[in-house]
Amino acid sequence: MSDEQVLWRPSAERVAASRLTSFAARQGYGPPDYERFWQWSVDHLEDFWAAVWDEFDVRAATPYEQVLTTREMPGARWFPGARLNLVDQVLRWTGDAPALIAASEHGEPVEVSRDELRGLVGALAATLRGLGVRQGDRVVGYLPNAPEAVVALLACASLGAVWSGCAPDIGPASAVDRFGQLDPVVLLAADGYRFGGKQRDRVAAVGELLDGLPTVRALVQVDVLGAPLLERPGLPVLAWGDAVRDRQDPVVVQLEAETPLWVVYSSGTTGLPKGLVHSHVGVMLMGLAQLGLQYDVQEGDRFFWYSSTSWIMWNTVVMSLMLGATGVLYDGSPLWPTPDRLWQLAADLRATMLGTSPGYLLACEKAGLDPAREHDLSALDAVGVTGSPLPPSSFRWVYEHVGDDLAMHVISGGTDFSAALVCDAPWLPVTEGEMSCRGLGLAVDAWDEKGASVRGEVGELVVTAPMPSMPLGIWGDDDGSRYRDAYFDVFPGTWRHGDWVTITDGGTAVVHGRSDSTLNRHGVRMGSADVYAAVEAVPEVAEALVLGVEQPDGGYWLPLFVRLVDGVELDDALVARLTTAVREKASPRHVPDEVVAVPAVPHTSTGKKLEVPLKRMAQGVPVEKALNLGSVDDPSAVAWFARYFAAR
């Protein structure tokens, strides 16, 4: 890396004060040689994860007999013999300090103290127990990003039941696609939510959800908009206030280490979403290692990652409570009433960490925002970014307009295993366009199509050894065939994640986008992110989508679709500027065959562009077979593409 590419280096004081430094010293390592410590951590998985267990004083009713049963994948099992519960790690922090701070588009932020959270969890757990919920039962939540969702997750986990949630902006049919696989016994649901300055009533949607979930024996209704309780003949319906009225300490059931904790879902763009089952010990150990060592989250920090209950980053905010941090929740639009909403919240709530998406940073840049000048961000210590590849220009924008002494947690991982495979660490500089390192204890590599490790060139992102938070499996996949086909089909015994990545000789990484939507023209592979970085830097472009479509005759069609800012028209001059940007900043081989203006770019419910389903539609696959419209943020945008492809 050149000096010009290094945007920030941690001070000696920051490095010395980090938990990673004291932890590594106990293993015989120290700064600045992170790569050497990483290599030890993956060569000695059992020693590393045992050290994490000890470092964070994991509370277990009985000790583990061994750390790891085998290095074969799938099939590895972690910490057999231990009996524990994630809830004990979260609720070990007591007192009046805030456990949660919750903001929304309506009213003032609300604080929930550590002791209050404990009482709420105990009260709801007692209510659920009274409704007949037992260990192994499934409880589901159709809830906004608010304290009620956190309480519900923890109350459910304390009983040994399995939690699953999604946000109420998900259509009821899509929610049934998720929850219906689980045969849940209790539903917790909000009467509505607020977004973009508007109230969204969801009472009818909750009714449809109940129609599709015949196993539900009771409903707990959360009051957001003040709607009356839903009436369902033969179904007990409790108001949230009544369900948590009797505050008490929870009775936490001690469970085998790999007891299922929650079910989270793949994007669900094709067929039913995959219900990925995570364990208590897996999520716990991974959360402690990544938040505590990679991101240096400490007691008293205020951890704010803009998310919804449908996305794994919401679960990550909950995990920050294990370290004594305050979880900051926001339910609302990041761009309303003004594009600087998240920076305003970070300032007002004194967040030490603000996590967001590349799209939000790009929107702020295009809006000409200067958060460091417009808001008091003196408490902010780090900015996190994930969801899609971050263009190099956005790295520099953060240091120029947010703060010049910030750690940047630019990470890439997955809902699949609730972890970041490539990320950063307190010892390492931030380099423009690159993620600083591979996560400790994670045997991450880049492989070519023959399964050989490559450096300095694009390869498949793979994981070559087990990690604690790999899924126990996919819900309902009794013989494990779906799980093996999804992750181990290309390289048997090795997890293939489905991203293109370049790992440099220095250990940094660049993720280029999904390997199944890679642009591969004339044998030269390029991730879509490289094209987006070039095109979306053009001020007239609000968002872009590029497809690389193999044709039946052996040809290759590479169209670029652009959503332009209001008032801009696509003329020859703008097309020329866009193709020049691709040629000069991405690759001459990937200049689009045509540039097409579109009214909107469709995404999954977690904000990912629908590259693969649209590519399949372009190849003639019917809409209903290419994707699940219920998991799309704008079905009308999909309809536009369907008409366009049909007319070609």
Strands (E), 273-414: 275-279, 302-305, 326-331, 353-356, 382-385, 407-410, 412-414
Does the structural domain 6-86+281-512 have CATH classification 3.40.50.12780? yes
pLDDT value at position 128? 98
Provide the edge-to-edge strand list for the sheet that holds 60-62. Answer: 60-62, 83-84, 255-256
Burial of 485 (0-12, 13-18, 19+ CB in 10 A): exposed
Cα 445–chain centre separation: 21
Burial of 610 (0-12, 13-18, 19+ CB in 10 A): buried
Question: What six digits make up the tokens of 188?
Answer: 């917790």
Residue in the structure block whose two tokens are 């959800």: 209
Helix H, strand E, coil C: the string for 143-191 is CCCCHHHHHHHHHHHHCCCEEEEECCCCCHHHHHHHHCCCCCCEEEEEC
pTM: 0.90
Measure the N-to-C terminal CA separation of the chain; round to a whole number of Å: 45
Buried residues in 369-398 as b, exposed as e (16+ CB within 10 A): bebbeebebeebbbbbbbbbbbbbbbbebb
pLDDT in tens, 429-457: 999 999 999 999 999 999 998 999 999 99
Cα 464 to Cα 42: distance, rounded to the nearest angstrom = 10
Helix (H, G, I), strand (E, B) or coil at 512: strand
pLDDT value at position 551? 82
Furthest-apart CA atoms within the chain: distance in Å:
70
pLDDT value at position 552? 79
**Residues pairing with 546 in the sheet:** 560
Q: Which CATH number fits domain 115-253: 3.90.1150.10, 3.40.50.980, 3.40.50.300, 3.40.190.10?
A: 3.40.50.980
Our CA dihedral for 388, 86, 90, 243, rounded to 10 degrees, sits at 100
Nearest to 445 by CA among 502, 513, 528: 502
Low-confidence stretches of the chain (pLDDT < 50) are none
β-pairing, 509-514 with 556-557? Answer: unpaired
Compute the C-alpha angle 298/302/308, nearest 5°: 120
> Cis before residue 260, ω within 30 degrees of 0?
no
Task: For residue 158, report the phi and psi dihedrals to the nearest 5 degrees.
Answer: -65, -25
516-647 topology per CATH: GMP Synthetase; Chain A, domain 3 (3.30.300)
Question: What six digits make up the tokens of 622?
Answer: 């019917």
Cα 167–chain centre separation: 14
Could you say which DSSP state residue 252 is in? P
Delimit the domains of the chain by residue range. 6-86+281-512, 115-253, 516-647
β-pairing, 495-503 with 509-514? Answer: antiparallel
pLDDT in tens, 357-410: 988 998 999 999 999 999 999 999 999 999 878 889 899 999 999 999 999 999
Q: Do domains 6-86+281-512 and 115-253 have the same CATH topology?
A: yes
**Residues pairing with 221 in the sheet:** 189, 239
Cα 216 to Cα 436: distance, rounded to the nearest angstrom = 46
Helix (H, G, I), strand (E, B) or coil at 304: strand
Task: For residue 28, report the phi and psi dihedrals to the nearest 5 degrees.
Answer: 90, 20
Q: Which residues contact 576 (CB under 8 A, 6 or more apart)?
A: none
